[in-house]
Amino acid sequence: MRIPPQHPRYHSLLQREKIVEAFKKGIVVPQGLIAHGRGECFDYLLGERTTPPAMKAIEAAAAALLLAKHPVISVNGNTAALVAKEVVELAKAAGAKIEVNLFYRTREREEAIAQLLRESGAEEVLGVGEDASATIPELFSERRRVSPRGIYIADVVLVPLEDGDRTEALRKMGKLVIAVDLNPLSRTARSANITIVDNVVRAMPLLLKKVNEFKTRSRIELEETLRRYDNEEVLREALMEIWRNIERHVREGLLIEFPK
């Protein structure tokens, strides 16, 4: 379906189309459609923009990725559908590996996502088939299967659109977890080390830009950026953004005016 660019909900509808197209190709599962809808709701409440607390988290995430020994970007269906190209560019800029990790894992789906990532320029995609032979303790879903060359040995894992259980499991393994999640109240948001409360569509290009910008910084400067970062404060500020947005609507009135 072609969406007219002048439509007031153009960007949102375009994302929906991408998710639906990917669903038809077997990249996104039905549950992924629902997850996207939950994200849309929070995006609406945030004003569909990157907020100052999200920017703080993006800076800390860029520092963490550049300081990491084994950074890995974990990719699921929705992430691949929305930002495959950006994932590949970010992996190249940060020297990170890309790994497919799915809650609803089938060989066809893994392959379809890996294929899409390769078409987007990825040279290597971990976590497909036999490669996902290591196991994360304490996880019972198919997501516990990871690559021994990827997430299993990673010190920093970027998990856009993650599930709470897995974030907790990765934390328990001592990994630094960076999440992108529009819901500041989700278990993912609250258990990650760095939570970017933003749409993955806006967050990934900004993160790529920051990584490139921070490459000229010394390790000491990057460590300082990371040390100063406070995820609890950032989550509180993200909630306040939603709060203030609602307050503004209440103050300014809600009805759309029509000519008499």
Q: From residue 80 to residue 119, what is the string marking binding to ligand ATP with x (rule CB under 6 A)?
A: --x-------------------------------------
Q: Closest CB to ligand ATP among 114 and 177?
A: 177
| C-beta of 79 vs 225, nearer to ligand ATP | 79
Query: Nearest approach, Cβ of 231 to Mg ion (angstroms)?
Result: 19
Task: Identify the residue among 93, 161, 169, 208 touching ligand ATP (CB under 6 A).
Answer: 161
Adjacent-strand bridge partners of 73: 98, 158
Of the two residues 65 and 201, which places its CB atom closer to ligand ATP in the complex?
201
CB closest to ligand ATP, residue no: 39
| Near ligand ATP by CB under 6 A: residue from 86, 99, 131, 163 | 163
Q: Between 29 and 222, whose beta carbon lies closer to ligand ATP?
A: 29
